[in-house]
Amino acid sequence: MAIKRFDAASWLDSPWSRRRLDLAQFAEERVAVQQICARVAAEGDAALREYGLRFDGWAPGASESFEVPSGELESAARRLAAPDRAALEFAAQRIREFHEAQVVAAPPAGKKGLKLLARPVRRAGLYAPGGRAAYPSTVLMTAIPARVAGVKEVVLATPPSADGTVPPAILAAAHIAGVDAVYRVGGAQAVAAMAFGTASIPRVDVVAGPGNIYVTLAKREVFGSVGVDGIAGPTEVLVVADGGARPDFVAADLAAQLEHDPLAWGVLVTDSPKLADRVVEELESLVGGLERAQVIRAANCCVVVADDMTQAMSLANDFAPEHLLIVAEDAMRLASQVENAGAVFVGPYATVPLGDYTAGPNHTLPTSGAARFASPLGVHTFMKRTSVLSLNRGDLEMLREATVRLAGMEGLSGHAHAVEVRLE
């Protein structure tokens, strides 16, 4: 593997430490996505049928629909192998319990007559990638928080096979998570359909869920017409480890994340040159035996040797990783120093794949440094807030002078008049 090695100074001086989501390199893809979104907005189902045939090899015939017949969701769950269904239900329960803890009571009223309302959106649209693999975990991680938030209608779009079928695991997960409808539409056209609405697919208020570069660009394109959970870049893990960490554990977590994507990131930051050497050796040995070795070898892998663990944590906060794994003698103390990370995994047994599937916290996380300002997908993704002002004449008199003066400072005499006329 082409593993790049740095000390702290050379790492900070390197563009590798300042990776970001650069969508400018996808100019051709963006033009294509803009055209797709515009056509879906203008032509609705007709555009979806054309793009379905072109990109997925399937579109509904005259007697068919984009929607999977509702009975097939429950049927898929019944037909799923018992251990597979049990795994989905186990994961769903843990995800549900974690997200139920995110539901908070209405904030207390502030000054008399002022309050903030928190309400769920009416309809959420979710996207589950398809194609070479099915991702039922994504269905659980997006649909369950929406349901916990109280969203009345939850719909899912996912690419069909060339025969119009959807993987049974996706349908079973949708049934377990409480999805109302599954639509056989993929890519940018699916995002556009949910954002703008068509005769077959209802317009939603929020679109959430991961996808390829076309899905990512489409979410960026439709944002403003609809809310989105975020604009995701390649997946990433940063491991902070001291000299006592097991190198095979660290190598395993790096490989697990790197196998997602040739653009994925795996970074080890350690105060031990010896551990750094051992992890590189373990990673080289491990990768050769993995099915996705070619993907892992193409991904971005770096080792940074810091002066001490304090500096290591500083470098981690600066990088703001999607996944941060801390393996050290005083891992909990170091975890208390985390400022920027999508999800933090503490200790040698808190391997990141547990967070991908069954631990409970969401696996849809901010990437490319967005953890500096963004949060994991959760109940809040499907909530909106509305301020309420209930004011009487006494309130108006009390607020009058400052309001009129500020309106005058901004040259907005109509604003001042709307106050004054009520007190004439």
User: How does pLDDT run across 369-390, given as a tens digit for each residue?
Assistant: 999 999 999 999 999 999 999 9
Least confident segment among 126-135, 165-174, 395-404: 126-135
Q: Which of 99, 322, 363, 380 is catalytic?
A: 322
- Please check whether residue 368 lies inside any domain of the structure: no
Asked which of 213, 228, 243 is the last residue of a domain, the reply is 228
Question: Residue 347: which CATH number?
Answer: 3.40.50.1980
Rounded CA separation 52/108 (Å): 49
Q: Looking at residue 226, what DSSP letter applies? A: B
- Residue ranges making up the domain that contains 174: 26-108+119-228
Domain count across the chain: 3
Residue 402, in any domain of the structure? yes
CA 416 vs CA 114, 186, 232, 396, 421: distances in Å: 21, 52, 45, 12, 9
| pTM given for the model | 0.94
What's the pLDDT at 241?
98
Say if residue 22's pLDDT is above 90.
no
111 has pLDDT over 80: no
Residue 69 pLDDT greater than 90, yes or no = yes
Q: Which among 322, 370, 362 is positioned nearest to 143, based on CA atoms?
A: 362
> For the chain, what is the mean pLDDT?
96
140: confidence class by pLDDT, cuts 50, 70, 90: very high
424/419 Cα distance (integer angstroms): 9
% of the chain with per-residue pLDDT over 90: 92
Same domain, 202 and 332: no
Indicate whether 423 pLDDT > 80. yes
- Are 241 and 146 contained in the same domain? no
Same domain, 269 and 404: no
pLDDT for the residue 54? 97
Per-residue pLDDT at 39 exceeds 80: yes
Q: Is residue 312 part of a domain?
A: yes
How far the first Cα of the chain sits from its last, in Å, is 79
- 213 part of a folded domain: yes
pLDDT at residue 108 tops 80: no
Q: Is residue 182 predicted with pLDDT exceeding 90? A: yes
Displacement of CA 114 from its chain's centroid (Å): 33
Residue reference for tokens 């793009």: 51
Which listed residue (323, 329, 401, 424) is catalytic? 323
Mean pLDDT across the stretch 81-101? Answer: 98
Structure confidence by residue, pLDDT tens digits, 74-85 = 999 999 999 999
- Specify whether 157 is located in the same domain as 244: no
Q: What angle in degrees, to the nearest 10, is found between the helix axes of 187-196 and 213-222?
A: 20
Please state at what angle helix 393-409 crosses helix 413-420, rounded to 10 degrees: 160
Q: Report if residue 410 sits inside a domain.
A: yes
What is the arithmetic mean of pLDDT over 235-253? 98
- Taking the C-alpha atoms of residue 197 and residue 205, their distance in angstroms, rounded to an integer, is 10
Range with the poorest average pLDDT among 106-120, 169-183, 201-215, 302-316: 106-120
Give the residue from 335, 359, 383 where a domain finishes.
359
pLDDT at 112 over 90: no
Query: 315 near 270, Cβ under 8 Å?
Result: no
Q: Are residues 241 and 220 in the same domain?
A: no
Give the pLDDT confidence score for residue 172 in this predicted structure: 98
Per-residue confidence band for 262, with pLDDT thresholds at 50, 70 and 90 = very high
Quote the pLDDT of residue 24. Answer: 87
- Quote the pLDDT of residue 307: 98
Do 35 and 174 lie in one domain? The reply is: yes
Does residue 148 lie within any of the structural domains?
yes
Give the pair of three-digit tokens for residue 224.
Answer: 């403003």
Q: What is the number of other CB atoms lying within 10 angstroms of the CB of residue 31?
A: 11
Is the separation of the CB atoms in 337 and 265 below 8 Å?
no
- Shared domain for 39 and 164, answered yes or no, is yes
Instruction: Indicate whether 176 and 91 sit together in one domain.
Output: yes
How do residues 306-340 score in pLDDT, each as one tens digit?
999 999 999 999 999 999 999 999 999 999 999 99
94 in a structural domain: yes
- Among 198, 228, 258, identify where a domain stops: 228
* Residue 63 in this model has a pLDDT that exceeds 90: no
Q: What is the pLDDT of residue 62?
A: 82
Q: Is the dihedral of CA 92, 383, 183, 213 positive or negative?
A: negative
Are residues 205 and 292 part of one domain?
no
- Residue 385 to residue 421: CA distance in whole angstroms: 31
For residue 17, which amino acid is it? S
pLDDT band at 132 (very low <50, low <70, confident <90, very high): low
Verify that 34 and 145 share a domain, yes or no.
Answer: yes
Residues 350 and 399 in one domain: no
pLDDT at 286 over 80: yes
pLDDT on residue 338: 98
Cα torsion 174, 179, 182, 185 to 10°: value is -90
pLDDT of residue 210: 93
Is 322 among the residues known to form the active site? yes
Adjacent-strand bridge partners of 346: 326
**CA torsion angle 16 17 21 22 (round to 10):** -50
Residues 158 and 90 in one domain: yes
pLDDT at 134: 87
Tell whether 370 is covered by a domain.
no
Torsional sign, CA 153, 159, 161, 166: negative
The answer to whether residues 332 and 240 touch, using CB atoms and an 8 Å cutoff, is no
